[in-house]
Structure 1
Amino acid sequence: MLVLLLAYYITQSVQSEADPIPALLGRRDVAVWDGQNNQRSIQSIIWSCLSTIFLCTWVAVHPNVHFRPEKGDQRWVEKWLWDPLHEFFTYKLLLFVWALLLPEYILAWAVRQYVQAGVISRQVPRWTRTHGFFMVMGGFHLFRLPADAPSIPLPLESSEPSNFVIPSGRHLRRDEIPACPLQFEDFSVDILEIIVPTETELKDRGKSDALTKTIVLVQTSWFIIQCIARGTQHLPLTELEVITLAYAMLNFFIYGFWWDKPRNVECPIRLYKLSTAIHKESGEEVEEWGNNWVVCLMSKLVQYTVGGQDNFVALSQKRSLPMFWSGSIQKNHLGDAGLGPTILGSVFGALHCIVWSSEFPSRSELVLWRISCVSMIAVPLITTMFFTLMAISWRTDDGVPIWAQVIATTLWILLMLTGWLYVASRIATLVIAFSTLRALPTTAFVTVDWTTFIPHIY
């Protein structure tokens, strides 16, 4: 939405310079007046690109369940204004910025969740990957029943009582106390078979279905087809279209890995324990960051890069899932899940080279664009090599060779030195993509002649 507002003002400022004849004629829907109708305007270029980018950075993201406890006796200002704005700026807008500046990280997150959902679904009979996704995304939340609320324990297959209970009497839901999100290790298989809805019911909780996702992919595909068609007819692409093409490419993979994940689920399924029952962290013991702030900072940078930060999170102490939670993935899966997104990240940067030899309004914009292209290719490649060494080391029982440790350390230092350059390059290309709209070549306004692709009779 912010990008749409920016585009609107840029369109108004560049219209008179790039479109002098239509401006004189009082027409803003024509790009170049030559008596023909096979022209496009700056507005159509911007709208087509921004709508596609919006689909790839806002609609394509399938967030985790961001649990927010309900509040009683709220004032209308807090309920209808403050809470929605707080949710937008502290969660949804942050996800949008991540998808805009680091789309490869969103793809890596989707791959990790896809892998973990598959691991979970294979451990419970008749579970699908949708069930695994719902578990990974925080679909189950622990609540404490009031002390005087009657309940019965959930039965286990061994006939032993479990810590989870079912309310058996009347009580008010507002008196239930939210505790923490639950993960797969907190349950036994027979309890999951009792409490988990069917796949159809889980998908019904999402805010989009297969038809909606198909429409998004069709619109994205249409944009890619238009770009290819312009290339075959030797018509130039604007820098904004090249950026959009790169987003569209990654969007296919993000949607593919999240296809079975319910989107925008806001309310988790409630599971109950008595107010006196103790809930301990299940699964493997949570790792510690360390007391030394330098070591802690370096560890966080490494773990957030490879996606292993979830192993340091104690969900029993959290009110809601972390934004990029994927579950405690095994280390050998982390290396595999990171290789593909980093390679595609280099492809994402390489697509920006389509306009490497194009005419730019100024020499500085040309140089800055080329430097940005090189950095957007090089930094993901360095990350790919780092992931490769990490994957090899996690599969090696005899320890990591000294030479591999030296190379991994060198690559990590390079990442620390060049990571900021990648983010700066993403911002620079976005800014240049709009600034170059002030001086587009005339051929950039010519539309594709689709009759050359369709058999016809003259």
Structure 2
Amino acid sequence: MLIALLLVLAALRPSSSIPVDGHFNTFLELAGQPSTSPTRTPQNIIWSCLATIFACVWVAVHPNIPNPRESQWRQFWRRVSTMLYAVIAPELVTLWAIRQRSAAGRIKRDFNDRYFPNGGTGRWTLSHGFFIQMGGLLFAQEGRDAYVITYKELLELIDNGNIDFPSITEEDILDKSKGDFLTKILVVIQTTWFIVQCLVRWAFGLAVTEIEVVTLAFAILNIVTYIMWFPKPLNVQVGIKIPKSRDAPLLPVPKPEVRKGWLQRQIERGNKGGRVTWVPWMVLVSLLLPSKLFSGLFLPLGAMATDDQVLAGSAYVPTFYADLDITTEIGVICPSLGMSVVFGALHFIPWNLEFPSDTEELLWRICSVVITVEPLPAAIGLGLSRLTKGYAVGDVITRVMESMATSIGSLAFIGLPLYVLARLTLLILAFTTLRSLRGTALTDVAWSSFVPHI
């Protein structure tokens, strides 16, 4: 739809045979409109961009259900930190949404095929698939604390007769949501409207500022994220307790587990398989994990892409949990990596614009390249790891390919600090370049010229 709109606007652009000199004022004169075009101020640009970014990183993010034992302040701070992560790496938020959407579809299909093969009322929807991933279903027994259950644990409880068959409707789930259909549509309209404004400016040869380019990348990525999360309940605070069946015996509460990160689990998996692919990971750990900054900032970013573990007996799921092992879902990781590259490439738009200084121009170009190519090692590593799947190759070749895949793929993790630095630099440059706006950057679009009026 956006491509079609761009083509229409391009058709409206003045022909090269008309001496418009690239200015919207001249175009309005030729169209019979007043030559004085509307203007905008840097403050107008900033507020428009901040409103769109806020819609992308605060309103559009659908968090999991928080820890019921946390204070309101702690829950608010967790939401703020999630927003900051979304500003630094919005493509990882999109990946998190895609992981949950893929898992929700799988849960929906599996549940209905298992218990409703012939149709009927009570079938699960995508909202059910999202809700259980959010930590929305808790197993409750008399005199014992309720704990969250995963989809796999729910099936075991049903099949063993420990709980009655859950009759939770989609209306029950959506009733807990703090965002209705209209709220979600308004967010889509806000981001889409910003994209349309940028397209119109390009169609009529008006300059687009760096901060608008950054916001445009956010907005385009946000549409994908919002589509993925559209059936997911928003800002649910309390889950639904499923009581033990009356005739079932009391079940022991699972003992607390030691949480293991995705990286540690991958290393242990490689050791059990007798492979040598754990060596590059150990090098990565020795280089990066001793840093408290890495543990405090970069590991949560990695969790958006990899967190698929719920501790037994826990009252809530992790902040970035999704019931999907990304290493087994090439249909999820490949589109996500592609979108990450597109997101970075959008920052090439101001490549030939006039910056206030040569230093800012050089920094913008370097950082744009960094955030564009940073996901590529992960894509190359994934491709190499898949080359030997399904083919009868020697064990030596398989081990060599797996080692190469892991080594190259680990570069994406090693480059994460550089990526974050580049993202922060681009955000700072987007504001500093506003001090010297030239040409048609402050010329606004005369929207009234598009609407028939007297």
- Coarse TM-score class (shorter-chain normalised): 0.7 to 0.9
Shift of 1:427: 0.2
- Which residue does 1:405 correspond to in 2? 402
- Which residue does 2:446 correspond to in 1? 449
**Using the alignment, how far apart are the partners of 1:139 and 1:396 within structure 2?**
42
CA RMSD of aligned residues (A): 3.4
Please tell me whether the aligned partners of residues 386 and 412 of structure 1 are also in contact (alpha carbons under 8 angstroms): yes
Which residue of 323, 334, 343 corresponds with 1:339?
Answer: 334
- Establish whether residue 211 from structure 1 lines up as the match of residue 182 from structure 2: yes
Which residue of 172, 175, 178 corresponds with 2:145?
Answer: 178
Which residue of 272, 277, 292 corresponds with 2:251?
Answer: 277
Letter in 1 for 2:57: T
Which residue of 380, 387, 412 corresponds with 1:415?
Answer: 412
SS of aligned partner of 2:135 = coil
- Which residue does 1:365 correspond to in 2? 360
Letter in 2 for 1:447: D
SS of aligned partner of 1:445 = coil
Which residue of 228, 245, 250 corresponds with 2:199?
Answer: 228
Letter in 2 for 1:43: Q
- Which residue does 1:319 correspond to in 2? 315
Shift of 1:57: 0.7
Letter in 2 for 1:85: W
Letter in 2 for 1:55: A
Q: Which runs of 5+ in 2 are unaligned?
A: 1-33, 117-122, 269-277, 290-298
Please tell me whether the aligned partners of residues 113 and 133 of structure 1 are also in contact (alpha carbons under 8 angstroms): yes
**Using the alignment, how far apart are the partners of 2:391 and 2:252 within structure 1?**
39
CA separation of 1:235 and 1:405: change in aligned 2, threshold 3 A: same
Letter in 2 for 1:224: I
Shift of 1:36: 4.5
**Using the alignment, how far apart are the partners of 1:387 and 1:206 within structure 2?**
37
CA separation of 1:145 and 1:297: change in aligned 2, threshold 3 A: farther
**Using the alignment, how far apart are the partners of 1:193 and 1:389 within structure 2?**
47
Which residue of 58, 61, 84 corresponds with 2:72?
Answer: 84
- Which residue does 2:227 correspond to in 1? 256
CA separation of 1:396 and 1:87: change in aligned 2, threshold 3 A: farther
Shift of 1:56: 0.6
Please tell me whether the aligned partners of residues 217 and 346 of structure 2 are also in contact (alpha carbons under 8 angstroms): yes
SS of aligned partner of 2:317 = coil
SS of aligned partner of 1:356 = helix
SS of aligned partner of 1:127 = coil
Deviation track 1:157-180 (CA, whole Å, cap 9, x = no partner) reads xxxxxxxxxxxxxxxxxxxx4343
Letter in 1 for 2:56: C
**Using the alignment, how far apart are the partners of 2:167 and 2:79 within structure 1?**
27
Number of residue-to-residue matches in the alignment: 374
CA separation of 1:395 and 1:253: change in aligned 2, threshold 3 A: farther
CA separation of 1:43 and 1:457: change in aligned 2, threshold 3 A: closer
Please tell me whether the aligned partners of residues 326 and 332 of structure 2 are also in contact (alpha carbons under 8 angstroms): no
- Which residue does 1:159 correspond to in 2? none
**Using the alignment, how far apart are the partners of 1:396 and 1:318 within structure 2?**
42
Alignment of 1:242-253 (within 5 A): 242-253=213-224
Shift of 1:323: 1.0
Alignment of 1:380-395 (within 5 A): 380-390=375-385
CA separation of 1:356 and 1:245: change in aligned 2, threshold 3 A: same
Please tell me whether the aligned partners of residues 95 and 336 of structure 2 are also in contact (alpha carbons under 8 angstroms): yes
Deviation track 1:288-325 (CA, whole Å, cap 9, x = no partner) reads 74799947948997x94794442xx3521433211111
**Using the alignment, how far apart are the partners of 1:397 and 1:340 within structure 2?**
28
- Which residue does 2:11 correspond to in 1? none
CA separation of 1:395 and 1:229: change in aligned 2, threshold 3 A: farther
Shift of 1:331: 4.4
**Using the alignment, how far apart are the partners of 2:238 and 2:431 within structure 1?**
39
Alignment of 1:42-61 (within 5 A): 42-61=42-61
SS of aligned partner of 2:374 = helix
Shift of 1:63: 0.7
CA separation of 1:218 and 1:102: change in aligned 2, threshold 3 A: same
**Using the alignment, how far apart are the partners of 1:429 and 1:179 within structure 2?**
46
Please tell me whether the aligned partners of residues 116 and 132 of structure 1 are also in contact (alpha carbons under 8 angstroms): yes
- Which residue does 2:3 correspond to in 1? none
CA separation of 1:223 and 1:328: change in aligned 2, threshold 3 A: closer
Please tell me whether the aligned partners of residues 380 and 409 of structure 2 are also in contact (alpha carbons under 8 angstroms): no
Letter in 1 for 2:97: A
Letter in 1 for 2:43: Q
**Using the alignment, how far apart are the partners of 1:388 and 1:105 within structure 2?**
20
Please tell me whether the aligned partners of residues 101 and 130 of structure 2 are also in contact (alpha carbons under 8 angstroms): yes
- Establish whether residue 240 from structure 1 lines up as the match of residue 211 from structure 2: yes
Shift of 1:251: 0.5
Letter in 2 for 1:278: P
**Using the alignment, how far apart are the partners of 2:381 and 2:154 within structure 1?**
35
Please tell me whether the aligned partners of residues 66 and 75 of structure 2 are also in contact (alpha carbons under 8 angstroms): no
Runs of 4 or more, structure 1, over 3 Å off, are 34-37, 188-194, 272-276, 286-301, 303-309, 328-331, 387-400, 449-454
> Identity over aligned residues, as a percent?
34
Shift of 1:434: 0.7
Calculate the TM-score normalised by the size of structure 2. 0.73
Which residue of 102, 107, 118 corresponds with 1:115?
Answer: 102
**Using the alignment, how far apart are the partners of 2:364 and 2:172 within structure 1?**
48
CA separation of 1:457 and 1:256: change in aligned 2, threshold 3 A: closer
Letter in 2 for 1:114: R
Deviation track 1:94-142 (CA, whole Å, cap 9, x = no partner) reads 2111111111111111111111111111122311111111111110123
